[in-house]
Amino acid sequence: MSIPLLAAVVAVYLCIVAYLSHQAFRATHSAADYMLAGRKTHPFVMAMSYGATFISTSAIVGFGGAAAVFGMSLLWLTFLTIFVGVFVAFVFFGRRTRRMGLNLNAHTFPEFLGRRFQSKGLQGAAGLLIFVAMPLYASVVLMGGGAFVTQILEVDYNVALFFLTLIIAVYVVLGGLKAVMYTDAFQGSVMFAGMVTLLLFTYYKLGGVTVAHERLTGMKEIAIATFGARGHTGWTSFPAFASEYWLVVVTTIILGVGIGVLAQPQLIVRFMTVDSDRELNRAVLIGGIFIMVAVGVAFIVGPLSNVFFYYENPATEGQIAIAAAGRNVDQIIPLYISQAMPQWFTALFMVTLLSAAMSTLSSQFHAMGTSLGRDIYEQALGQKGNSVLINRIGVLFAIAISYFLAWGLPILFEGGTAIIARGTAIFFGICAAAFLPMYFGAIYFKRMTLAGAYAGMLTGTLVSLFWILFIRINESRPLLLCKALFGVDSLAEGTLWAVVDPLVIALPASILATVLVNGWGRPVCEQHVETCFRRIA
């Protein structure tokens, strides 16, 4: 890798990020500026920020590597993220969220929920859950960025992790959501160009679209010989129904992320940054195209990397992607880029990965920091002070936690696979189980009660944690609690339940608890409800 070329590309990239961050810092004067970008965001900026926040290194490095193992069945997640994550989210959730958020003068997602149900306790509880759970997601995104930098520059992982965290911390702390969204729009544009170029080069390298896919299909027997016992049927077909791999692909990757996107706090707040429904409508097409490319390319290139490693790369001839990467799923895409692509593209793609990591992490740090500063400290605990300063301190604290988790997770899960993809899916699933029934009820049902909201959130959270700690073996084994209490790695060890994602159990339980308890609670003040649902332009 040409270090001068890489240094020049990264320097230009960082200069642009610095300029956008400085402009955002100068324009940030109030809590609304810091937490909602002033509610006047352009639809292009909003759509690109939403997409770039959603698509991180976990999608490109983590899920791209997972696709190299599971195959193109993961493309169903691309469809779900476009249909659910963009169309349903913008049209059926976004419009009502924007209107209600403006009616309630809400600045964060927990504040939106708290004011809808007239409960600072609920706001604090939602903020606490975000602050406790989101560092897991942020840390695996940091790991993805650090892994790529380590592979390309051949530097120590901890050094790459430190400097990546430091760069993001500076502009998020100073510029708030304005800086996050300005830089997201730029970073999303870089990601779009990088992913399109990656797809074109991959097909060129492997002999064209038809030839590449035929060669991958022809490797079916290799896939079955390697993974057939777990249900693999080839990289261009779906795993065998109800097999271990089928359950992972369907329950964890497709449903866990595809449904979980609707309840992501850092994405929901984007709906409250535009000033009319027209801006949301205009953002749908932009967001859909971006997601299709950013997600779809990773799920195509990942499986095709098997063709490259097995047939085209002398250093790994006769090895599929997972073997070439030393059994580390999260190293497949970085290794493929470094060995298959020309040097100038490696430099470009490093910026693409930096953009993916920085855009998502900046939003995560902002969401965690405002949950601590605004929702817990200012609202739930009733403390007063300079709101912008308090939230900046909250962001710094959130960054520190995420950094130390990113440092420690590879040690805790040493020998494990797909840590990045698994960490992402876990957070998405927890958010869906805890927040989705309450959030849906808040914007659609006037008779939704505080008791129903609490019941759904607590049930979803507790069932998710139980499943993670005691049932799902990929998490329960390294966490050791189940082993310490019951002497086994999982209470479902030896059965397929041990690979079922918590979302499949926790979300239905949360919905049921919300519906059953809702009728027992005291209705929210009728006049307040009418204010919440008041139509605005």
pLDDT: which is higher, 204 or 135: 204
DSSP sequence for 155-216: --HHHHHHHHHHHHHHHHHHHHHHHHHHHHHHHHHHHHHHHHHHHHHHHHHTTSHHHHHHHH
Percentage above 70 pLDDT, the chain: 92
Evaluate if residue 145 carries a pLDDT over 80. Answer: no
Is residue 537 in some structural domain?
A: no
- CB count in 10 Å sphere of residue 278: 11
Is residue 324 in some structural domain?
A: yes
- Tens digit of pLDDT for each residue in 165-214? 887 777 666 666 677 788 888 888 888 998 999 999 999 999 999 999 99
- The separation between CA 398 and the C-alpha centre of its own chain, rounded to angstroms, equals 16
Three-state DSSP at 469 gives: helix
Beta strand extents in 33-180 (DSSP E only): none
Evaluate if residue 236 carries a pLDDT over 90. Answer: yes
415 — pLDDT class (breaks 50, 70, 90): very low
Is residue 389 in some structural domain?
A: yes
Is residue 157 in some structural domain?
A: yes
- Tens digit of pLDDT for each residue in 73-123? 999 999 999 999 999 999 999 999 999 999 999 989 999 999 999 999 999
Is residue 116 in some structural domain?
A: yes
Is residue 336 in some structural domain?
A: yes
Domain housing 214 = 3-532
pLDDT score recorded for residue 180 = 75
- Tens digit of pLDDT for each residue in 217-229? 999 999 999 999 9
- Tens digit of pLDDT for each residue in 485-531? 999 999 999 999 999 999 999 999 999 999 999 988 888 888 899 99
Q: Looking at residue 407, which CATH number applies to its domain? A: 1.20.1730.10
Percentage above 90 pLDDT, the chain: 50
pTM, 2 dp? 0.88
Is residue 295 in some structural domain?
A: yes
- What's the structural domain count of the chain? 1
Average pLDDT of the residues in 28-48: 75
SS3 of 316-378: HCCCCHHHHCCCCHHHHHHHHHHHHCCHHHHHHHHHHHHHHHHHHHHHHHHHHHHHHHHHHHH
